């Protein structure tokens, strides 16, 4: 038999490789779907490229590459045999766990056991060779299979504990000692045994004592008596009262110094008379019929305590939280609720998959189509069926019902080279949205660009306060940023009284009062948006000198989908980032038609089209550097505005500096262009001051003349020659970055077309619904009516964009649905006033 197997494998030996240290082995997830070894058909790993494929996609890879040998991986979940006393008998099934996979919390107990199975499969005949088979297989094949099985996940750096889902089982859970002291915990009326506090109470699972937690400046805390008790007695595990539900509770281990899982929590609670299956998540034992208004941000946004009906099927698939990934998952949920993105990726799925490169894990369109299909197919959002469950129990094998999809492969690709998104820290959802739009733009050349639905033109009117002359410019944007008008709060008296009570409680170390949140009318935020902004260090071309200037912004076009960001994040006087805890009364129907731009008005005089004076450096060593402008002072107000968006502080300072302190909007465009630079977040180096993103003229232009061969290459792609010059000068003659710059600055192509005699004015007048002066795809915007309906919003929980959690609500089939990681449910009380990003869809008149 050994000779037969050896002879069988001889033709395929050149295609079987042993993975090297730099090879990525995808043995946990399919490159085209979310099938894994836990799926019914298992996962097939190519023994040449080490890519993983589900049963549905392995045939495509075989036909495309001719690769015939795959390692088939399958994990079985089986229920242990139950003893007469009702407990599970610990027995070992043949085999072992050898796959580097996450263990689902539902099966991380003594009731289930896992068995991994591996075998070689040869296509197209599907000939199977069970492993291990050391005696019969050639040595090279055995070594290659062992190397694949023992390889680590390529996403190891992303597999961190999440805020809720990835807690570890406490080492004290299995053998926890519980004192038989007769203590029984009542269903309500709890208070600390030492200070009589009635909030933030923790039950010690060893002796049943109820004590308060630590004091937190956020408002929820106590006097630390639970920790003191642990130091005296050494009892390790506590559970927070008010969080106990049939699904679990918040358990903390003092010895391990972290939140943990307790698989035996129901038994531990029953010791003190608590029936876990009858508990509801309430604070201080107040049941729902005695309900008091929930004001805590975590509770309101997640709709804690409400009986939310789970939803399953197409469009109701969640994401598994894999450690600070909710900023990404909420944005992608909203993105794929939009028909244009569904059509562009899921609608073209077969074509995208068929024409995918040999490594589909590194192709943007493939990964977008994969993610969209995972969310919309319903394959990974199936309700448990009782009859199937009974049949599974009879077979002693538990069929896993998928709980959402993962973000590992998608995140690894879209965050590649990005300092922040490639980390394991929580990020700003608004910043990720812009990053995603940038990727869509760059990967949609020559095909449908679904991000067109977000793009709009902003008209900026800048006026010199001294000469009263004006300049009108246009720029492209994707988000309307609304400031929070704190001075317009409608409950100022309540806020003042709350602040006095909070300070008194803090000084006397008493429990803080119930939170009072500032209520801000949306109209006040809209009014603040329309107010003129001061432009410090404004250079007036009319005066040929710096002067005071003011700037206002209006819509030159209205997008199909209007994204609004409520600017809740700011910096305190100590430069510590903080979040404004406010409730903005967002409308379901929004009319921004009054914000339509009107252009140059009768009686207004335009500022001369003159550039600031150019300073040529005296040092001859600097003659071949980029053109220099007089080094401006850094406009700290613009730096603050950019930092409030979540960008690194040093990057904001560089953006303002390199754009000559011409305002936050221009600096924002610089940030979008340079976001992927290796030194993006590095401190500003004044001695290395480079050219601004503005075009150069005259003598200075000759000092940095771009190579003609690079200019010719860019113009051969269809771009204007002066645009090529401008992009190369802004990126130090780097071709790749220059192309990215052009796609990030489509407004520059508009300006180039304005000066080109080849523009046909008649054609422009006949371009229906498009407010641009050329036909370049990157500059197209879809204009229309300015009335919108709210269809989705993303909410942030926590004090900073770098921490906390995101939840999104999406309106589907006339009702609101809450997406909270893998949990998807019908929303009962959508917290529309606590959102961070809002998505509005145009209403057709």
User: Residue 418 annotated as binding?
Assistant: no
Is 805 known to be catalytic?
yes
Give the span between the Cα atoms of 609 and 615, in whole angstroms.
19
Q: Which residues contact 484 (CB under 8 A, 6 or more apart)?
A: 520, 525, 528, 566, 567, 568, 580, 582, 584
Q: How confident is the model at residue 104 (pLDDT cuts 50, 70, 90)?
A: low
476 in Cβ contact with 457 (< 8 Å): yes
CA distance 333 to 325: 12
d(CA 807, CA 831): 11
Considering the domain boundaries, does residue 563 fall inside one? no
**Gap between the Cα atoms of 727 and 738, Å rounded:** 5
- Condensed to tens digits (0 to 9), the pLDDT of residues 602-611 reads 999 999 988 7
Report residue 9's pLDDT band, with 50, 70 and 90 as the boundaries.
Answer: confident
Q: Find the distance separating the first CA and the last CA of the chain, reported in whole Å.
A: 76
More confident residue, 555 or 76: 555
Question: For position 279, what pLDDT does the model report?
Answer: 54
**Token pair in block for residue 395:** 């077979």
CA distances from 216 to 159, 264, 354, 506, 798 (A): 29, 29, 55, 10, 13
Of 51, 105, 93, nearest to 73 by C-alpha is: 51
Contact 285, 199 (CB under 8 A): no
Which region, left, alpha or beta, applies to residue 585 given φ > 0 means left and ψ of -120 to 50 means alpha? Answer: beta
Number of continuous H segments (helices) and E segments (strands) in the chain? 24, 26
Lowest-confidence region among 96-105, 341-350, 553-562: 96-105
CA-nearest of 1, 7, 28 to 122 is 7
At 363, list the tokens.
């192709």
297-300, long-range: CB < 8 A, 24+ apart:
297/581, 297/797, 297/798, 297/834, 298/797, 300/829, 300/831, 300/834
pLDDT of residue 508: 84
- DSSP bridge partners of 794: 808, 837
pLDDT band of residue 528 (cuts 50, 70, 90) is very high
**815-820 and 823-826 beta bridge pairing:** antiparallel
Mean pLDDT of the residues in the chain: 79
Is the pLDDT at 826 greater than 90? The verdict is: yes
Q: In this structure, what DSSP letter does residue 232 have? A: H
- In whole angstroms, what is the distance from residue 497 CA to residue 515 CA? 11
Beta-bridge partner residues of 606: 470
Token pair listed for 805? 């959690």
DSSP conformation letters of 475-488: EEES-EEEE--GGG
- Looking at the structure of the chain, the number of domains it has is 4
Q: Residue 631 — very low, low, confident or very high, per pLDDT cuts 50/70/90?
A: very low
DSSP code per residue over 194-228: TT---SSEEEETTT--EEE----TTS-----HHHH
Burial of 346 (0-12, 13-18, 19+ CB in 10 A): buried
Q: Which two tokens stand for residue 73?
A: 């991986």
Identify the H or E element spanning 564.
Answer: strand 561-567
Q: Quick check: 70 and 46 in contact, CB under 8 A?
A: yes
Determine the average pLDDT of the residues in 797-821.
90
User: How many CB atoms sit inside 10 A of residue 4's CB?
Assistant: 9
Q: DSSP letter at 694?
A: S
pLDDT of residue 286: 37
What is the DSSP secondary structure assignment for residue 342, as one 8-state letter? I
d(Cα 543, Cα 551) in Å, to the nearest integer? 17
Residues 829-834: contacts with CB under 8 Å, at least 24 apart: 829/300, 829/303, 829/306, 830/793, 831/300, 831/301, 831/303, 831/795, 832/586, 832/588, 832/790, 832/793, 833/519, 833/583, 833/584, 833/585, 833/586, 834/297, 834/300, 834/301, 834/583, 834/795
- 747: pLDDT confidence band, cut at 50, 70 and 90? low
Which helix H or strand E contains 808, and what residues bound it? strand 805-812
In a domain, 817, yes or no: no
pLDDT over threshold 70, residue 595: yes
pLDDT at 110: 55
192 annotated to a ligand binding site: yes
The answer to the question of residue 741 being in a domain is no
Q: How confident is the model at residue 770 (pLDDT cuts 50, 70, 90)?
A: very low
Does residue 772 have a pLDDT over 80?
A: no
State the pLDDT at residue 675: 76
Q: Considering the domain boundaries, does residue 819 fall inside one?
A: no
Are 410 and 508 in a shared domain? Answer: no
Identify which of 33-47, 155-169, 528-542, 658-672 has the greatest average pLDDT.
33-47
Strands 533-540 and 518-521: unpaired
Q: Which of 529, 558, 587 is the last residue of a domain?
A: 558
Q: What is the CATH number of the domain that holds 241?
A: 3.30.40.10
Q: Do residues 693 and 738 lie in contact, with contact meaning Cβ atoms separated by under 8 Å?
A: no
Q: How many CB atoms lie within 10 A of CB 210?
A: 22
Of residues 188 and 437, more confidently modeled: 437
Instruction: Tell whether the torsion through CA atoms of 395, 396, 397 and 399 is positive or negative.
Output: positive
The reported pLDDT for the residue numbered 213 is: 84
**Please, are residues 83 and 89 in contact by the beta-carbon 8 Å criterion?**
yes
How far does CA 662 lie from the centroid of its chain?
Answer: 30
Clarify whether residues 193 and 239 are in a common domain: yes
Q: Are 474 and 669 in contact (CB under 8 A)?
A: no
Give the DSSP letter string of 358-427: S-GGG-HHHHHHHHHHHHHS-TTB----HHHHHHHHHTTBPPPPPB-B--HHHHHHHTTT-TTTTSSS--
The DSSP call for residue 130 is: E
* 446 and 333 within one domain: yes
Given 129, 154, 179, which residue is the final one in a domain?
154
Q: Tell me: the pLDDT tens digits for 229-262?
A: 999 999 999 998 877 877 678 899 999 888 889 9
Distances (CA, A) of 484 to 101, 422, 471, 489, 584: 45, 30, 28, 10, 8
Query: What pLDDT was estimated at residue 2?
Result: 52
Question: CA 747, CA 557: separation in Å to the nearest integer?
Answer: 13
Rg (CA), the chain: 31
Helix-, strand-, coil-residue percentages of the chain, each rounded to 5: 30, 20, 50
Whether residues 388 and 447 share a domain: the answer is yes
Task: Assess whether pLDDT exceeds 60 at residue 362.
Answer: yes
Contacts of 263 by beta carbon, 8 Å cutoff, 6+ apart? 108, 109, 110, 169, 173, 174
- With pLDDT > 70 as the criterion, what percentage of the chain qualifies? 76
Domain that holds residue 36: 2-154
Q: Which range is least confidently modeled, 203-217, 600-614, 629-643, 744-758?
A: 744-758
Name the residue with higher pLDDT: 655 or 387: 655
Task: Tell me how far apart the alpha carbons of residues 227 and 209 are, in angstroms, rounded to a whole number.
Answer: 12
Q: What is the pLDDT of residue 798?
A: 85
* In-domain check, residue 75: yes
When pLDDT is averaged across residues 516-521 and rounded to a whole number, the result is 93
Q: Does residue 323 register a pLDDT over 90? A: no
Q: What angle do CA 50, 56, 61 make, to 5 degrees?
A: 40
Q: Is the pLDDT of residue 219 over 70?
A: no
Neighbours of 644 (CB within 10 A): 20
Partners of residue 521 on adjacent β-strands: 585
Q: Does 443 have pLDDT greater than 70?
A: yes
From the list 805, 809, 822, 841, the catalytic residue is 805
Asked if residue 137 is part of any domain, the answer here is: yes
pLDDT exceeds cutoff 50 at 704:
no
**Are the C-beta atoms of 516 and 560 separated by less than 8 Å?**
no
CA distance 754 to 612: 22
* Of residues 541 and 286, more confidently modeled: 541
Which H helix or E strand runs over 497? helix 492-508
| Cβ-proximal residues to 394 (8 Å cutoff; 6+ apart), any chain | none
Residue 705 is predicted with a pLDDT of 63
| Residue 737 belongs to a domain | no
Which of 154, 180, 203 finishes a domain? 154
Q: Whose structure tokens read 């710096």? A: 546
CATH of the domain at 402: 3.90.70.10
pLDDT at 758 over 80: no
**What is the Cα–Cα distance from 350 to 342, expressed in whole angstroms?**
13
Instruction: Say if CB 608 and CB 541 are below 8 A apart.
Output: yes
Q: CA 103, CA 108: separation in Å to the nearest integer?
A: 6
Q: Which two tokens stand for residue 451?
A: 């991000």
Query: Which residue carries 């490229």 as its tokens?
Result: 49
Residues 234 and 183 reside in one and the same domain? yes
Coil/strand/helix, residue 674: helix
* Residue 370 placed within a domain: yes
541 in the same domain as 421: no
Whether residue 552 is found in the same domain as residue 441: no
| Domain co-membership, 142 together with 186 | no
Lowest mean pLDDT among 128-142, 491-505, 632-646: 632-646
More confident residue, 813 or 78: 813
Q: What is the pLDDT of residues 466-513, one digit of tens each?
A: 899 999 999 999 999 999 999 999 999 999 999 899 888 888 878 888
Verify that 148 and 164 share a domain, yes or no: no
Does the reported pTM lie above 0.85? no
Q: Are residues 490 and 442 in the same domain?
A: no
pLDDT at 537: 77
Task: Give residue 437's pLDDT.
Answer: 94
Q: What average pLDDT does range 148-168 have in this prediction?
A: 62
C-beta of residue 824 within 8 angstroms of C-beta of residue 378: no
> Is residue 653 within 8 Å of residue 637, measured between CB atoms?
no
Q: Give me the sign of the Cα torsion angle 641, 642, 647, 653.
A: negative
Rounded Cα distance, 335 and 329, in Å: 10
Rounded CA-CA distance 644/656 in Å is 14
Q: Within this chain, do residues 20 and 75 fall inside the same structural domain, yes or no?
A: yes
Residues 429, 462, single domain; the answer is no
pLDDT band at 156 (very low <50, low <70, confident <90, very high): low
């Amino acid at each position: 038999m050994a000779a037969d197997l050896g002879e069988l494998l001889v033709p395929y030996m050149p295609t079987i490789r042993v993975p090297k240290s730099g090879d990525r082995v995808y043995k946990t997830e399919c490159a085209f779907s979310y099938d894994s070894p836990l799926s019914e058909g298992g996962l097939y790993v190519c023994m040449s490229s080490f890519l993983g494929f589900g049963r549905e996609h392995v045939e495509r890879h075989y036909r495309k590459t001719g690769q015939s040998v795959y390692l088939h991986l399958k994990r079985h979940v089986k229920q242990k045999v139950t003893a007469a006393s009702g407990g599970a008998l610990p027995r070992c099934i043949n085999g072992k766990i050898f796959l580097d996979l996450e263990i689902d919390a539902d099966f991380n107990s003594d009731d289930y056991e896992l068995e991994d199975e591996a075998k070689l499969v040869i296509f197209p005949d599907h000939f199977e060779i069970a492993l291990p088979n050391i005696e019969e297989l050639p040595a090279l094949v055995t070594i290659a299979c062992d190397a694949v099985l023992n390889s680590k996940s390529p996403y190891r750096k992303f597999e961190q504990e999440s805020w809720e889902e990835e807690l570890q089982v406490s080492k004290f859970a299995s053998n926890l000692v519980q004192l038989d002291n007769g203590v029984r915990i009542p269903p309500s009326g709890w208070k600390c045994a030492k200070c009589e506090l009635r909030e933030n109470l923790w039950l010690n699972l060893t002796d049943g004592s109820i004590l308060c937690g630590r004091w937190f400046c956020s408002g929820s805390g106590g006097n630390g008596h639970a920790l003191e008790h642990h130091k005296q007695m050494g009892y390790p595990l506590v559970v927070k009262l008010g969080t106990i539900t049939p699904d679990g509770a918040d358990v903390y281990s003092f010895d391990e110094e972290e939140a943990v899982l307790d698989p035996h929590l129901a038994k531990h609670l029953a010791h003190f008379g608590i029936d876990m299956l009858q508990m509801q998540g309430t604070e201080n034992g107040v049941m729902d019929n005695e309900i008091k208004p929930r004001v805590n941000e975590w509770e309101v946004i997640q709709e804690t305590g409400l009986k939310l009906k789970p939803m399953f099927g197409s469009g109701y698939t969640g994401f598994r939280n894999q450690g600070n990934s909710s900023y990404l998952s909420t944005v992608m949920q909203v993105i794929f609720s939009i028909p244009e993105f569904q059509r562009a990726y899921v609608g073209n799925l077969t074509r995208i998959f068929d024409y995918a490169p040999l490594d589909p894990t590194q192709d943007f369109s493939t990964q977008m189509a994969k993610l969209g299909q995972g969310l919309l197919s319903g394959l990974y959002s199936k309700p448990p069926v009782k009859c199937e469950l009974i049949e599974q129990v009879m077979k002693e094998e538990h069929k896993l019902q998928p709980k959402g999809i993962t973000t590992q492969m998608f995140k690894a690709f879209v965050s590649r080279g990005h300092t922040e998104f490639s980390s394991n820290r929580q990020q700003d959802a608004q910043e990720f949205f812009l990053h995603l739009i940038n990727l869509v733009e760059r990967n949609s050349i020559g095909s449908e660009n679904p991000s067109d639905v977000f793009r709009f033109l902003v008209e900026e009117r800048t006026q010199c306060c001294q000469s009263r002359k004006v300049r009108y410019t246009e720029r492209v944007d994707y988000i309307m940023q609304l400031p929070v008008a704190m001075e317009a709060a409608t409950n100022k008296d309540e806020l003042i009284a709350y602040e006095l009570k909070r300070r008194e409680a803090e000084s006397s170390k008493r429990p803080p009062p119930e939170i009072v949140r500032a209520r801000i009318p949306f109209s006040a935020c809209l009014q603040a948006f329309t107010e003129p902004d001061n432009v410090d260090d404004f250079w007036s071309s009319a005066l040929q000198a710096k002067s005071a200037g003011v700037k206002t912004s209006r819509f030159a076009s209205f997008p199909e989908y209007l994204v609004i960001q409520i600017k809740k994040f700011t910096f305190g006087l100590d430069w510590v980032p903080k979040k404004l805890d406010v409730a903005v009364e967002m409308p379901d129907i929004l009319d921004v038609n009054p914000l339509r731009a009107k252009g140059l008005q009768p009686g207004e005089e335009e500022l001369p089209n003159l550039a600031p004076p150019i300073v040529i450096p005296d040092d001859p060593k600097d003659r071949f550097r980029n053109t220099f402008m007089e080094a401006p002072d850094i406009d700290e107000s613009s730096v603050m505005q950019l930092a409030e968006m979540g960008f690194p502080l040093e990057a904001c300072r560089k953006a303002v500096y390199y754009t000559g302190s011409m305002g936050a909007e221009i600096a924002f465009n610089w940030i979008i262009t340079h976001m992927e630079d290796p030194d993006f977040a590095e401190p500003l180096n004044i001695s290395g001051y480079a050219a601004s993103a503005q075009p150069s003229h005259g003598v200075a232009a000759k000092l940095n003349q771009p190579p003609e061969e690079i200019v010719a290459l860019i113009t051969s792609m269809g771009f204007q020659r002066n645009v090529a010059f401008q992009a190369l000068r802004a990126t130090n003659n780097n071709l790749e970055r220059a192309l990215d710059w052009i796609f990030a600055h489509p407004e520059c192509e508009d300006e180039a077309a304005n000066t080109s005699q080849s523009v046909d004015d008649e054609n422009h007048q006949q371009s229906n619904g498009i407010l641009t002066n050329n036909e370049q795809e990157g500059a197209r915007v879809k204009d229309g009516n300015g009335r919108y309906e709210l269809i989705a919003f993303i909410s942030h929980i926590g004090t900073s964009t770098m921490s906390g959690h995101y939840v999104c609500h999406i309106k589907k089939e006339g009702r609101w649905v809450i997406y909270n990681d893998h949990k998807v449910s019908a929303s009962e009380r959508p917290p529309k006033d606590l959102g961070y990003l809002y998505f509005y869809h145009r209403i057709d008149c």
